């Protein structure tokens, strides 16, 4: 069966979701999981965005062996050379360069003529070819570009050496029949179109990213750009899990395959959600908690008699239930280390391992069954707390009782100095946040507060996401604990740490 190339851009376009910025270590963990999942190309970032992004791509290029590692680059010499340097250690490396081709972008954003855009695109592809044979070119805002101009640009970049031609619906404007036709027309009209792989990259502003991507596939695209959980700019990108499962489940229509190990989908979804702080809605296809839950009695009865009456996929085929009960109270340090390794988690030092093991023992005292998700959350929390540069939680006491006003007392370590604070609030979390603010005085706006249980049961760890906004910057903070008020305090402090210390980085589309 002919294979579709799955190009995952969770670490680049996904990271452009408000507050989803990831650290190098977090990106490496996700990259390892993407490799395990079997994605063909991992877009690891935008090398020119910041020194941190450059370093993350270089590290990923060193550790990933089976997937191609790609860096995005605007069509400028500096960007392309940074991308080339970042992927130089990759077993298989790609440079993905792009420039906008719609009138609205060329006139208002780039302030360049059509001729200048073609010239720059060709030049960027030629610079990229100095580093790798695997060069991808994207015509940003192809959806609102004139087809004649797209044909001209694509012919020129193919001539210059591009091997993959990506057609993005940057603003999520298309609908499936139109997008399919556009792909078919380009493939038909562009000279040497059979020498390249045609790709599609769809945003979800009208909720049609997956449908549009599949329409492109039906019309000749052989690479789909997508993200785990559909994370991405604004309403997000096409979701990898939906694309892959649609192609697999409806192979009668597509007659195509992918290299994806579908049993790794749910673990990948949970990891990305834990790290970015973007919860998955319960009714999300494939990876939502209710995706395989049957509420109505008639459905339950049908499924018990014959599963296919109401199920078109098997939960276990996408990785539900794959979460192993891995460790317990009596597990030793070696078993802990081995399981972390199997999960692709490598702690930087013996000290970090010892600290994580101590946290694991504490958790095992409170929670009898420890699952893989618990280990991911625990390590995430450990790294988050450990790398906290300004504020750390030292102590928290919260009193909450019917008929009384909730009251929080806490001690924070602020840049090496301990400070005590207390406050009352509408609830225990509100009181805790107010106590923290009385020390920090950030005046940041709280955009989101959400709690999710990591596994089932009332002894599960709660995973809290806090999204803060200040001076135009948006950050997410995470915290995990069996006590959700403690998890909330950690998440709030994590967001503050990101707000105060994280350097700004460049957005490729600006
Ligand atoms: O949406 C878009 O156009 C992009 C390009 C950089 C491929 O993300
Ligand atoms: Zn995009």
Confidence class of residue 61 from pLDDT cuts 50, 70 and 90?
Answer: very high
Q: Could you count the other beta carbons within 10 Å of the beta carbon of residue 323?
A: 16
| Residue nearest atom 1 in ligand 1 by C-alpha distance | 170
Is residue 168 in contact with ligand 1, taking CB distance under 6 Å? Answer: yes
Atom of ligand 1 at shortest distance to CA of 98? Answer: 6
**What is d(CA 315, CA 304) in angstroms, rounded to the nearest whole number?**
14
- With the most atoms of ligand 1 within 8 angstroms of its CB, the residue from 44, 139, 167, 170 to mutate is 170
For residue 476, the CA-to-ligand 1 centroid distance in Å is 23
**φ, ψ (nearest 5 deg) of residue 380:** -60, -50
Question: For residue range 68-82, what is the model confidence (pLDDT) as tens digits?
Answer: 999 999 999 999 999
Question: For residue range 191-228, what is the model confidence (pLDDT) as tens digits?
Answer: 999 999 999 999 999 999 999 999 999 999 999 999 99
For residue 145, the CA-to-ligand 1 centroid distance in Å is 14
Mean pLDDT confidence for 94-110: 97
Is residue 138 in contact with ligand 1, taking CB distance under 6 Å? Answer: yes
Is residue 98 in contact with ligand 1, taking CB distance under 6 Å? Answer: yes
Is residue 278 in contact with ligand 1, taking CB distance under 6 Å? Answer: no
Question: For residue range 384-418, what is the model confidence (pLDDT) as tens digits?
Answer: 666 666 899 999 999 999 999 999 999 999 988 99
Question: For residue range 161-178, what is the model confidence (pLDDT) as tens digits?
Answer: 999 999 999 999 999 999
Q: Answer yes or no: is 376 a known binding residue.
A: no
Q: Answer yes or no: is 89 a known binding residue.
A: no
Q: Answer yes or no: is 13 a known binding residue.
A: yes
Is residue 16 in contact with ligand 1, taking CB distance under 6 Å? Answer: no
pTM: predicted TM-score of the whole model, two decimal places: 0.88
Give residues with Cβ within 8 angstroms of 301, minimum separation 6: none
Find the angle CA(345)-CA(347)-CA(350) to the nearest 5 degrees. Answer: 140
DSSP states along 4-50: PEEEE-TTTTGGGSTB----HHHHHHHHHHHHHHT-SEEEEEEGGG-
Q: Answer yes or no: is 201 a known binding residue.
A: yes
For residue 239, the CA-to-ligand 1 centroid distance in Å is 15
- Angle between the 209-218 and 240-249 helix axes, to the nearest 10 degrees? 40
Ligand nearest to the CA of 72: 1
Average pLDDT of the chain, as a whole number: 92
Burial class (CB in 10 A: 0-12, 13-18, 19+), 109: middle
Pairing outcome for strands 41-46 and 5-8:
parallel
Ligand nearest to the CA of 140: 1
């Amino acid at each position: 069966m002919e294979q579709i190339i799955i190009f995952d851009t969770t670490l680049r376009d996904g990271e452009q979701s408000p507050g989803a910025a990831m650290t190098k270590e977090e990106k490496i963990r996700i990259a390892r999981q993407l490799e395990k999942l079997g994605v063909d190309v991992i877009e690891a970032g935008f090398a020119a965005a910041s020194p941190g992004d450059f370093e993350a791509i270089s590290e990923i290029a060193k550790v990933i062996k089976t997937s191609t590692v790609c860096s995005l680059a605007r069509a400028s010499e500096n960007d392309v050379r940074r991308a080339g340097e970042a992927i130089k250690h990759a077993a298989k490396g790609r440079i993905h360069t792009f420039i906008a081709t719609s009138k609205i972008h060329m006139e208002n954003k780039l302030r360049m003529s059509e001729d200048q855009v073609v010239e720059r695109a060709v030049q960027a592809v030629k610079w990229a070819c100095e580093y790798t044979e695997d060069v991808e070119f994207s015509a940003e805002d192809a959806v609102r570009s004139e087809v004649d101009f797209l044909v001209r640009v694509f012919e020129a970049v193919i001539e210059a050496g591009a091997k993959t031609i990506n057609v993005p619906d940057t603003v999520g404007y298309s609908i499936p029949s139109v997008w399919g036709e556009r792909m078919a027309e380009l493939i038909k009209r562009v000279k040497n179109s059979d020498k390249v792989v045609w790709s599609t990259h769809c945003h979800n502003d009208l909720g049609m990213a997956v449908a549009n991507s599949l329409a492109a596939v039906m019309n000749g695209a052989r690479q789909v750009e997508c993200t785990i959980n559909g994370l991405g700019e604004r309403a997000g990108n096409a979701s990898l899990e939906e694309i892959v499962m649609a192609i697999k489940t409806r192979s009668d229509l597509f007659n195509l395959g992918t290299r994806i190990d579908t049993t790794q989908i749910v673990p990948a979804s949970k990891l990305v959600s834990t790290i970015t702080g973007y919860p998955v809605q319960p009714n999300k296809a494939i990876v939502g908690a209710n995706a395989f839950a049957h509420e109505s009695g008639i459905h339950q009865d049908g499924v018990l008699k014959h599963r296919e009456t109401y199920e078109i996929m098997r939960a276990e085929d996408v990785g539900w239930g794959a979460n192993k009960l891995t460790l317990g109270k009596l597990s030793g340090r070696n078993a802990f280390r081995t399981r972390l390794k199997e999960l692709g988690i490598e702690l930087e030092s013996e000290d970090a391992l010892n600290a994580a093991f101590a946290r694991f023992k504490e958790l095992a005292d409170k929670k009898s069954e420890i699952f893989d998700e618990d280990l991911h959350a625990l390590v995430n929390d450990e790294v988050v707390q450990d790398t906290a540069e300004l504020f750390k939680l030292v102590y928290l006491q919260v009193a909450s009782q019917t008929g009384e006003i909730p009251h929080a007392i806490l001690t924070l370590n602020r840049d090496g100095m301990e400070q005590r604070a207390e406050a009352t609030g509408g609830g225990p979390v509100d009181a805790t946040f107010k106590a923290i603010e009385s020390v920090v005085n950030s005046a940041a706006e709280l955009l989101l507060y959400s709690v999710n249980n990591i596994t089932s049961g009332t002894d599960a760890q709660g995973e809290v996401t806090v999204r803060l906004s200040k001076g135009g910057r948006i950050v997410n903070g995470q915290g995990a604990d069996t006590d959700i008020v403690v998890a909330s305090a950690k998440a709030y402090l994590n967001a503050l740490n990101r707000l105060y210390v994280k350097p700004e980085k460049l957005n490729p589309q600006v």
